[in-house]
Amino acid sequence: MNKWLKRGLVVVGFCVAMAIGYHWYYADSPLYEMTLSESDVQQVGQHKPTLVVDKGDRRIYLVQNGQLQQDEQGAYISWPIALGKDPIGTKLKDGDQKTPEGLYTFTDHAGSSAYYGSLWINYPNALDAKRGVESGLLSDEQYKEIVTAEQKGLRPDHDTKMGGEILIHGTYKKIPWTPIPLPSDTIAYHIRTQGCVGMSNQDIFELRELLESTSGTVLILP
């Protein structure tokens, strides 16, 4: 069989499998009902983030000037997300497969990431680092470095016992172990992440198109 035909069949099979997984796991899930509480909305108004991640309902929302953005029908502009294997509770340490909770800055990471449209969440922040040093996961020096990085608007060290490299990202830019690219409008998700906020390529493309900047703040709710 011609090698290009083989690769074509791999692409088709991979995309079909991901699409089936998407519809089976996500499309009709009650987890995606939008039920932000009054307290959540108040936090949005207080912190004025760029994005809101609601782990409980597994959605990501767009915010401008402290207001959740709405479409022409009055619905919040939002997209479904995937989380880690153990999503309940905030991230405490490396390898716990949890997504952090709180207010974080984020920056563009699309150029150097294997995943489409990636945004890098600056975890751990100073509050995380304080908890880390109190629990013995961080040294005093590591704590100071993380606090200094936050003060200077830099990415913190992500190679500590607290873990890191938490992204908002799409699926792969190309099919793993092959040079074959995936289209930007791929609708399938990772069923689970390692603690990142997973989206489809199509959804994160739409999100990035609506962002005024690819750096800002994200409020991650339980």
What is the extent of the structural domain holding 21? 3-123+163-221
**Token pair for 176:** 């793993």
Q: Give the pLDDT band (50/70/90) at residue 73.
A: confident
118 located within any domain = yes
The mean per-residue pLDDT over the stretch 163-192 comes to 84
Confidence at residue 7, expressed as pLDDT on a 0 to 100 scale? 58
**Token pair for 221:** 């709710």
Q: CA 71 to CA 73: how far, in whole Å?
A: 5
135 located within any domain = no
* Helix 140-151 / helix 126-134 crossing angle, nearest 10 deg: 170
pLDDT: is 147 or 4 the higher one? 147
> Is pLDDT at 25 greater than 50 in this prediction?
no
Could you tell me the pTM of the whole model? Answer: 0.81
Q: How far apart are the first and last CA of the chain?
A: 51
Mind giving me the DSSP string for 153-194?
Answer: T-PPP-SSTT---EEEE-SBSB-TTSSPBPPTT-----S-BS
Question: Token pair 């009055």 is at which residue?
Answer: 74
40, 84, 31, 39: which is closest to 59 by C-alpha? 31
Q: Give the pLDDT band (50/70/90) at residue 192.
A: confident
The mean per-residue pLDDT over the stretch 48-68 comes to 93
Confidence at residue 12, expressed as pLDDT on a 0 to 100 scale? 55
The mean per-residue pLDDT over the stretch 205-218 comes to 94
147 located within any domain = no
How many domains does the chain contain in total?
1
67 located within any domain = yes
The CATH number that applies at residue 200 is: 2.40.440.10
> Is pLDDT at 170 greater than 50 in this prediction?
yes
133 located within any domain = no
> Is pLDDT at 17 greater than 80 in this prediction?
no
140 located within any domain = no
Q: Which has the minimum average pLDDT: 4-18, 56-70, 111-125?
A: 4-18
Highest mean pLDDT out of 3-7, 19-23, 74-78: 74-78
Q: CA 80 to CA 27: how far, in whole Å?
A: 9
> Is pLDDT at 29 greater than 80 in this prediction?
no
Q: Each residue of 103-127: pLDDT tens digit?
A: 999 999 999 998 999 999 999 999 9
How many Cβ atoms from other residues are within 10 Å of residue 9's Cβ? 11
Confidence at residue 162, expressed as pLDDT on a 0 to 100 scale? 94
Q: CA 109 to CA 5: how far, in whole Å?
A: 33
175 located within any domain = yes
> Is pLDDT at 32 greater than 50 in this prediction?
no
Q: Each residue of 159-169: pLDDT tens digit?
A: 999 999 999 99
129, 130, 134: which is closest to 160 by C-alpha? 129
177 located within any domain = yes
Confidence at residue 137, expressed as pLDDT on a 0 to 100 scale? 96
